[in-house]
A and B are shown apart, each in its own frame.
Chain A
């Protein structure tokens, strides 16, 4: 597909920057194309540029800024198939425009606050691209300029270098503390004081993985023995307690569950499509009755979840979205072509959406009206955007790096 910047003469492309989103952002904006809109962003900018040119208005190149985040702001992280350098694309889901980009190092973990006021990442760089001295750090970006507003080094290179699992780095509800996971030499969680821009400390934890914060001094983890651990870190020594074991040894929970911090609820699917609703609103994690996404007949036909980030949860609508397809066992990381929408309260299926593409990751905007369903294809390097109600594809954004895998949204709804 030809992009606007390919079909415009260089001079005109430069002139188009005047008064529009341009400079560092121009490239990104230029490559977003809207499938269904009558006029693409590129065409719109060409028309506006031509009109200004005709009026004799001067071109005034400048560095653009980011608009204020809204419910349709969506972040696409590209781990780039383990490349040493990576990117994140900041996209307006409503228009399909790339608004900005941030650079990252090796397998960074993006962290976006629910109110859209914190864009940060936990990242790793080496002094000679992929070798030499390693530095782990937390970088916070100004949400308007995308300039770094904090750069906090993490001592002793504690990051867990792994394919990007969203819950391996996260924020407390007040956005003042960033948590990141350490795997080796022993399980631990690092605390970074964002308010004072400094590394705080590592907390030793049991053999448990991923963090699900519920309060400014409390988070939960999922443990090897099949229990959840509650970690309260407000005091001098962390207080750790375990829930009952809630799943069997052969019941494999995927690496990328959906977590709503505002609902204090995890939706955790297994390889076969059983979904555990983990309620973190009480004194200890409580696991409600598991939801079966598929009927027994469907399971026999081979229907099972699959992808990188195959589950999403809409808090206000109380709906679960599960990316699935007919598949062989042990193909659970392969893309899928369908999204099963399930009422989280009743466990009933609401509908099945045919995505029309090989999708690896899904998410939903959290607004109650005009909800968008996002489907990211790592292979196509494209974010497909759907109307959640009709299930129709409304637009798409292509050229999103080399192997985009993670979609992050903010939950700004009250």
Chain B
């Protein structure tokens, strides 16, 4: 049911179960509304958008406030994703699904900090979310 996640404590497990029921999954410092790619139109309306095109994250560095959501939208045929290495959003790596053209993936950042990420098959595509 929960892909790419690691249960570290009973409390965390319970939190996951609770959130799982509402369709949201809690990582350590972030919340992921959907682990699957969704159509861009279904992305949260109030999210900060990072478009992906020409093998780049168009705004590689963005600054947001705690509680804000970032949505990545792929604008081209080449599939891309976002991957946070182990230790960035939680103990385990957070590997987003591959996004086809006009698909989106969102992450809500709950805590202040710097969250560097990259595209799994294109490690030269890099970005960073700074939560202040």
Contact status B124-A183, CB under 8 Å = no
Q: Mark A178-211, 1 if CB is under 8 A from B, else 0.
A: 0000011111000000000000000000010000
Contact status B124-A224, CB under 8 Å = yes
Assess whether B129 is interfacial by the CB under 8 Å rule.
no
Contact status A184-B123, CB under 8 Å = yes
Task: Give bound CA distance, A183 to B122, whole Å.
Answer: 9
Q: Could you say which residues of chain B place their CB within 8 Å of the CB of A186? A: 85, 118, 123
Assess whether B120 is interfacial by the CB under 8 Å rule.
yes
Q: Which residue of A lies closest to B93 (CB)?
A: A185
Q: Could you say which residues of chain B place their CB within 8 Å of the CB of A185? A: 83, 85, 93, 118, 120, 123
Q: Could you say which residues of chain B place their CB within 8 Å of the CB of A207? A: 123-124
Q: Which residue of B lies closest to A186 (CB)?
A: B123
Q: Which residue of A lies closest to B121 (CB)?
A: A184
**Whole-angstrom distance between the Cβ of B60 and the nearest chain A Cβ:** 13
Q: Could you say which residues of chain B place their CB within 8 Å of the CB of A184? A: 120, 123
**Whole-angstrom distance between the Cβ of B75 and the nearest chain A Cβ:** 21
**Whole-angstrom distance between the Cβ of A7 and the nearest chain B Cβ:** 52
Task: Give bound CA distance, A183 to B123, whole Å.
Answer: 7
Q: Could you say which residues of chain A place their CB within 8 Å of the CB of B123? A: 183-187, 207
Taking each of A183, A185, A186, A224, which has the highest tally of chain B beta carbons within 10 Å of its own beta carbon?
Answer: A185
Q: Mark A81-115, 1 if CB is under 8 A from B, else 0.
A: 00000000000000000000000000000000000
Task: Give bound CA distance, A183 to B83, whole Å.
Answer: 14
Q: Which residue of B lies closest to A206 (CB)?
A: B124
Q: Could you say which residues of chain A place their CB within 8 Å of the CB of B85? A: 185-186
**Whole-angstrom distance between the Cβ of A288 and the nearest chain B Cβ:** 27
Taking each of B83, B93, B120, B124, which has the highest tally of chain A beta carbons within 10 Å of its own beta carbon?
Answer: B124
Task: Give bound CA distance, A184 to B86, whole Å.
Answer: 12
Q: Mark B100-132, 1 if CB is under 8 A from A, else 0.
A: 000000000000000000101001100000000
Q: Could you say which residues of chain B place their CB within 8 Å of the CB of A224? A: 124
**Whole-angstrom distance between the Cβ of A210 and the nearest chain B Cβ:** 15
Q: Which residue of B lies closest to A225 (CB)?
A: B124
Task: Give bound CA distance, A185 to B81, whole Å.
Answer: 13
Task: Give bound CA distance, A306 to B120, whole Å.
Answer: 30
Task: Give bound CA distance, A184 to B124, whole Å.
Answer: 10
Q: Could you say which residues of chain A place their CB within 8 Å of the CB of B120? A: 184-185
Q: Could you say which residues of chain A place their CB within 8 Å of the CB of B118? A: 185-186
Task: Give bound CA distance, A205 to B77, whole Å.
Answer: 29
Taking each of B83, B118, B120, B123, which has the highest tally of chain A beta carbons within 10 Å of its own beta carbon?
Answer: B123
Task: Give bound CA distance, A187 to B118, whole Å.
Answer: 11
Interface residues of A in 305-346 (CB under 8 A from B): none
Task: Give bound CA distance, A185 to B83, whole Å.
Answer: 8
Q: Mark A196-232, 1 if CB is under 8 A from B, else 0.
A: 0000000000010000000000000000100000000
Interface residues of B in 79-103 (CB under 8 A from A): 83, 85, 93
Q: Could you say which residues of chain A place their CB within 8 Å of the CB of B93? A: 185
**Whole-angstrom distance between the Cβ of B24 and the nearest chain A Cβ:** 25
**Whole-angstrom distance between the Cβ of B33 and the nearest chain A Cβ:** 23
Q: Could you say which residues of chain B place their CB within 8 Å of the CB of A183? A: 123
Q: Could you say which residues of chain B place their CB within 8 Å of the CB of A187? A: 123-124
Task: Give bound CA distance, A227 to B93, whole Å.
Answer: 31
**Whole-angstrom distance between the Cβ of B29 and the nearest chain A Cβ:** 18
**Whole-angstrom distance between the Cβ of B98 and the nearest chain A Cβ:** 14
Q: Which residue of B lies closest to A185 (CB)?
A: B85
Task: Give bound CA distance, A185 to B118, whole Å.
Answer: 8
Task: Give bound CA distance, A132 to B123, whole Å.
Answer: 25
Task: Give bound CA distance, A186 to B86, whole Å.
Answer: 12
Task: Give bound CA distance, A176 to B10, whole Å.
Answer: 48
**Whole-angstrom distance between the Cβ of B80 and the nearest chain A Cβ:** 14
Task: Give bound CA distance, A229 to B74, whole Å.
Answer: 31
Q: Which residue of B lies closest to A182 (CB)?
A: B123
Task: Give bound CA distance, A177 to B93, whole Å.
Answer: 30
Q: A185-B120, A186-B85 are in contact. List 11 more A-B contacts (CB 8 A).
A: A183-B123, A184-B120, A184-B123, A185-B83, A185-B85, A185-B93, A185-B118, A186-B118, A186-B123, A187-B124, A224-B124
Interface positions of A (Cβ within 8 A of B): 183-187, 207, 224
Pull 6 A–B residue pairs with CB atoms less than 8 Å apart, ordered by A. A184-B120, A185-B83, A186-B85, A186-B123, A187-B123, A207-B124
Interface positions of B (Cβ within 8 A of A): 83, 85, 93, 118, 120, 123-124
A-B interface, 3 closest residue pairs, ranked by CB to CB distance from nearest:
A207-B124, A185-B85, A186-B123
